[in-house]
Chains A and B, each alone.
Chain A
């Protein structure tokens, strides 16, 4: 955990289903996605942070018209989740009915998970707790 975090390693961690956020060594704020400076104190030295995976759904959409790379996966949910560590994550949502987005409540608890897309990528995802 002492190594300096890099964006390449951050993305590799997600592919390996081992998500880690950044953490400011100065004030301890957990930061995601990777940033070169801390939103809280301006510190610029980061380390890795493991997270509990517990979060709250802030908002979402369903992508129906998708870019070519993702067309086979559409329609799919993308949401903004606030982790209990305080930082927010843009991720796929799984386990929600694409036919009934109006029925999806905000501020519900969600859990960190991963989704294997037909594009061959593994996405960071959240599912209902």
Chain B
């Protein structure tokens, strides 16, 4: 048998039908007096009506929300949100994978288009987190870890990443200052992003302020508690032409899982789900890390960005820090990472994050990222993981004319 020249995908499944034709996000942050359904509708309106896509064209919706049961005492969110946003009647399903809820919703949307079941679908994510006290929000977030065996002994979310940090520090000589530089970069990029929660640069000294959350992680190593929503519209190739001359193609997708328990993992300086998901996505796209112009990765903590940059193959294990320190991952570097400011400075409304990441990649690829525009923008990667990395989704996107 002739070897496939593009080596695309296990099971001969090239992704060649899915187009992103529009995207939008709300402001992220503490959105006073804005409820979950209102922010959802704002993002959906921008991504549909705002882009010249009539709502009646949307045939199905895939919606990421993490734990509205605890934040706003509301389950069964898909029909609720669709109804408020003027989409009552269509198929709507909620997807939950902790912080990867948005990207798992996106994967369902991709599969719906690739299968031919639908030709125009909405993918959206939203979370309202500031409706409860920080203490309750922390408790809600802890539900993304193994409650029975880890949360029950007092391990917190930052604690999990604190453990990964210590392992990374001792193996690769990573320092607290290295991590602080990731925070400084995130805030610098977000300073020109009007939708970011924090739009102010911070100094290295401020990022190093010794307010420990879970040693060696400090306050400025952690992403904030946020409200916000994001939405994108996916279509088939035929349908895309009705809405835009220049869509963005999703050409590779991968998803993997890992043990919820850290004790179930043999490696703490790398997340195996990230490695596996990115390998699947690269293989499907027939591309390699060197072909990526930039990446948007899941920087729920500064150490998470460093590890992700290694797990997706941008840098060798242990060399992610060097890349930050040399400015390679800066907005004007060779491999920009989180050019709009990441979770760290833009905010992390859990269910919205994965969809927001796809929106950021979309805007960058089109060259519409304004002051946050990366220089090379043909192909980009998004990496969204859930909880302690027990779920990871990686998607590779390319501008249609590239």
Please name all residues of chain A whose beta carbon is closer than 8 Å to the beta carbon of B268 when the two chains form the complex.
58-59, 80
Partner of B215, one of A61, A66, A69, A87: A61
Main secondary structure of the interface of A (DSSP, over half): mixed
Assess A63 versus B154: contact at CB under 8 Å? Given A80-B262, A106-B170: yes
Please name all residues of chain A whose beta carbon is closer than 8 Å to the beta carbon of B170 when the two chains form the complex.
59, 106
Assess A124 versus B216: contact at CB under 8 Å? Given A62-B162, A65-B158, A67-B142: no
Please name all residues of chain B whose beta carbon is closer than 8 Å to the beta carbon of A32 when the two chains form the complex.
263
Is the interface on chain A under 10, 10 to 19, 20 to 34, or 35 or more residues?
35 or more
B197-216: CB near A (< 8 Å → 1, else 0) gives 00000000000000011111
Assess A62 versus B214: contact at CB under 8 Å? Given A78-B154, A92-B153: yes
Does B159 contact A89, Cβ atoms closer than 8 Å? no
Instruction: List A68-84 residues whose CB lies under 8 Å from chain B.
Output: 68-70, 73-76, 78-80
Please name all residues of chain B whose beta carbon is closer than 8 Å to the beta carbon of A119 when the two chains form the complex.
154
Partner of A90, one of B150, B162, B164, B166: B150
A87-129: CB near B (< 8 Å → 1, else 0) gives 1111110000000010000100000000001010101100000
B163-186: CB near A (< 8 Å → 1, else 0) gives 111110010000000000000000
B216-228: CB near A (< 8 Å → 1, else 0) gives 1100000000000
Does B214 contact A65, Cβ atoms closer than 8 Å? yes
For residue A21, give the distance in angstroms from its CB to the closest CB of chain B. 11
Please name the residue on chain A nearest to B141 by beta carbon: A67
Does B142 contact A101, Cβ atoms closer than 8 Å? no
Does B215 contact A62, Cβ atoms closer than 8 Å? yes
Given contacts A60-B163, A69-B154, A90-B155, 13 further A-B contacts (CB under 8 A): A33-B146, A34-B149, A59-B164, A61-B162, A62-B162, A64-B212, A66-B154, A67-B139, A73-B154, A88-B263, A90-B263, A101-B215, A123-B153
